[in-house]
Chains A and B, each alone.
Chain A
Amino acid sequence: MSTFKPRDWGSHAPFIAPGYKSTILRGPSRAPLAIKSGLTEGTGPRFAPAAVRELDFDLTKNGVVNGEPQGERIVVHGRVMDTDGRPQPDILVEIWQANAAGRYVHKVDQHEAPLDPNFRGSGRCFTDANGNYKFYTIKPGAYPWGNHFNAWRPNHIHLSLFGPGFATRLVTQMYFPGDPLLELDPIFLGTEDAAARERLIAKFSIDKTEEGFALGYQFDIVLRGRNGTPMEN
């Protein structure tokens, strides 16, 4: 077992990003204390194959009650790797999102857009031996939120990954290319580094697009790499 390289804070947002108002009361005000990465941080949960059922990777089917969900079918391909480019196999990827109208199944969401009886909007999959994952879904709609006057979230899909250790835990959002709301969104813009922000935007791929069925996107995910020196036990 080896330890992980430190989190690259230049790739992440600060805890308090005032444009995103909720961070002001909820982000820690003090810098996190650095601790030496050890056994604890190098370990992490693994999951049994049974954690992902047959239709969990297909959100166009896993919430069906009596018909097809509304909206534009898409297929999202991606590769999970570390900062050294090493593919990350057997990583659990959890996803959740709004429906095509911009409405979440979550009971707290009061946006006046219709729920889709045939779309739940959550699923999961594992990466394969080469770190690749794939899921089918409906392109999520934009929706308003209360951060500021006329605030709208860009189309996005939430993703949650454990990675190879508890230290590599990542929760992020995937955005779509060419979305005019991106440059107005304080959550996207919370990441101050423009090059890092680009890594949150999926690429349209005609090669991954399925003839007559679904537009294809590629969204690669990069987790912290490992230190070169094996850890002493």
Chain B
Amino acid sequence: MAYGETPSQTVGPYFAYGLTAGQYGYDFTDIADPVVAGQDAKGEHIRITGTVFDANGAPVNDAMIEIWQADADGVYSEKPVDVADTGFRGLGRCGTGTDAKNRFWFDTVKPGVVADAEAPFVNVIVFMRGMLVHAFTRFYFDDEAELNAKDAVLQSVPADRRGTLIAKRVETPTGTEYQIDIHMQGDAETVFFDV
């Protein structure tokens, strides 16, 4: 390698007026927001929600979560991400500082299968004050047991930790939700990936 990588540094506590301005009510435009798929996107419309917990089990109120996923047909979008797009965008970004319970949420469609021997999943990045390096993880879906059992990445995770990656389907008055928490440490510590 001719050049060394630029080190990662923490996103810090004060990212909102730069990265998530609309969500937090700052006067700046957004390049992404919690809507991953607008109302016109093809597929099963779902909401993904969860809470980030620190080692003491306290909810983290200044994390930023980003997700990147395939559309309902299992295709990663090559169309530029645009927050005015009412169709499928592919990218979502949400801070945990505006919900009363410090949850993150994404309005999206359930992704399709991208490749053979894979289950549907969402790519996730976790940023927060107190993380010098962001962490990659994935959200899988609990109603895809058959495909989950064939997914090479999921099956490479020790069985007793696999559940940390699987979101639980819940029917709510406002629609279908998949719930999944992110635990930074402890018995339920989320599996993070070196991608």
* Residues in chain A within 8 A of chain B (CB atoms): 5-8, 11-15, 17, 20, 22-35, 37-41, 43-48, 50-51, 53, 56, 81-85, 92, 94-96, 98, 104-109, 120-124, 158, 160, 166-167, 169-173, 187-188, 190-191, 195-197, 199-200, 220-225
Contacts and interface: CB of A to CB of B under 8 A. Distances in A.
Contact of B12 (A24, A122, A124, A158): A158
B82 to A, nearest CB: 5
B88 to A, nearest CB: 12
A223 B194 contact: no
Interface string B34-78: 000000000000000000001110001010001010100000111
A130 B185 CA distance: 42
A94 B19 CA distance: 7
A12 B77 CA distance: 30
A18 to B, nearest CB: 12
A167 B136 CA distance: 9
Interface string B66-100: 10101000001111111000000011000001000
Interface of B: 1-19, 21, 24, 26-29, 31-32, 54-56, 60, 62, 66, 68, 70, 76-82, 90-91, 97, 114-115, 123, 125, 127-136, 153, 156-157, 184-185, 189-195
Contacts of B185: 25, 27-29
Contact of A39 (B13, B76, B157, B189): B76
A162 to B, nearest CB: 9
Contacts of B18: 94-96, 121-123, 158, 160
Given A28-B192, A33-B192, A187-B132, A44 B7 contact: no
Contacts of B27: 120
A25 B24 CA distance: 25
B4 A11 contact: yes
Nearest to B7: A191
Q: Which 8 A-B pairs have the closest CB atoms?
A: A96-B18, A22-B130, A26-B130, A122-B18, A13-B132, A48-B80, A106-B14, A173-B9
25 contacts: A6-B194, A12-B5, A13-B7, A14-B132, A25-B54, A25-B56, A26-B128, A27-B130, A29-B55, A33-B156, A33-B157, A40-B114, A40-B123, A44-B68, A45-B68, A45-B77, A84-B3, A96-B15, A106-B13, A106-B17, A158-B11, A172-B9, A187-B9, A187-B132, A191-B132
